[in-house]
Amino acid sequence: MIQASIIGASGYAGGELLRILLGHQKVNLRQVTSQSKIGELVSSDHPNLRGATRLIYESLGDLKKCDVLFVSLPNGISMEYMEKFQKLAKKIIDLGTDFRLNSIQDWETWYQIPHKNPALLKQFVYGLPELHRKEIQKTSYVAGPGCEATVSILTLWPLIKHKLILPEPIIIDAKMSSSQAGNKATAGSHHPERTGVVRSYAPTGHRHTGEVEQELAVGAARPKVAISATAIQMVRGLLVTIHVVPNKNVTEIDIWKAYRQEYGREPFIRIIKQKKGIYRYPEPKILQGTNFCDIGFEIDSHTKRIVLIGAIDNLTRGTAGQAVQCMNIMFHLPETTGLEFPGLHPI
């Protein structure tokens, strides 16, 4: 059995990790931490786990060595302690932002604070299995991608790689659920202020832009990405609608071929494009709790553009599920282990 521990398990991402790892056939979840809730049952924060575990939160100082350590801490914290974490486990998967970008200049541009451990940036592999499976198999350290970056990169990458679209402009309209803001209450998350909103909170300058541009830099292409993020009334899920310009005369057959060539054997990518029904295109509602990324597309002959649509559950495929998929790869397990849940309908 793989001995696993979680640092920072009281948040939504930590709770999703708990849910998945407790049901994983090859994992023994050894310890979980929360500095503010030491001694409390994890089910006090994650009531869906009542009866599933008697784990309690422990302090960082009480952590014992394990095979794999999941780090789920607020942005800017894990880089301060990562060298200490490396002494606890040979393999580490960091769900935060601190090691996602290869360049220290890019990191400081997008996060506007100095990086406190730039020497470690090159040790981490960007944890998107469809793009970096071979590197993940060999590495000891994985940086989990951001949820918006995950769905945007997966939706765009085959078309960029096969030169079916121009590298700019790429315009991403992202519809975000409330759980992406975490479990700390703010004025904006107060029920009267959050309910019913369609709130544009990052029309420009979204931090995941750096990740998307980094991962879409294929060959000589250096895409320019513009992300606009809007909060909507949805607890879990993320939908991106992406507007791109085709490279010359691109047909639907060309797009199908690109997606099938890159994703035909991928266990968690589904191309959704049906002629009838209410789920003709990707829909985050039916992806809750799953590790799937659903992708669709439409060619607009009137404006000479292609509209791409991608959907995920931000907490599963966008965070915890993807981290477990990376763990499976690192330990040479079938990638679907522990991630077999197909979702619910209706929900």
Domains of the chain by residue range: 2-123, 148-312
Rounded to whole angstroms, how far apart are CA atoms 9 and 94? 13
Which bin fits 205, alpha (ψ -120 to 50), beta or left (φ > 0)? Answer: left
Rounded to whole angstroms, how far apart are CA atoms 246 and 243? 10
Contact 50, 43 (CB under 8 A): yes
Contact 80, 116 (CB under 8 A): yes
Q: Average pLDDT for consecutive 10-residue bins of the chain (347 residues)? A: 97 96 98 95 96 96 97 94 96 97 94 93 97 98 98 98 96 93 82 90 94 92 94 95 95 98 98 94 98 98 96 98 98 98 95
171 SS3 class: strand
| Residue at 204: amino acid letter | T
- Both structure tokens of 48: 């869906």
What class is the 2-123 domain? alpha beta
Query: What is the side-by-side order of every strand in the sheet holding 170-176?
Result: 198-202, 225-232, 170-176, 238-244, 305-312, 293-300, 269-271
4 SS3 class: strand
* CA-wise closest residue to 5 among 76, 62, 50, 46: 62
Cβ-proximal residues to 262 (8 Å cutoff; 6+ apart), any chain:
130, 157, 158, 161
Statement: the pTM of the whole predicted model exceeds 0.95: yes
CA angle, 260 as apex, 173 and 220 as ends, to 5°?
65
pLDDT at 180: 80
CATH architecture label of 148-312: 2-Layer Sandwich (3.30)
Question: Looking at the annotation, which residues are catalytic?
Answer: 147
pLDDT at 179: 87
pLDDT at 220: 79
Handedness of CA 211, 212, 213, 217 (dihedral sign): positive
pLDDT at 182: 79
pLDDT at 43: 96
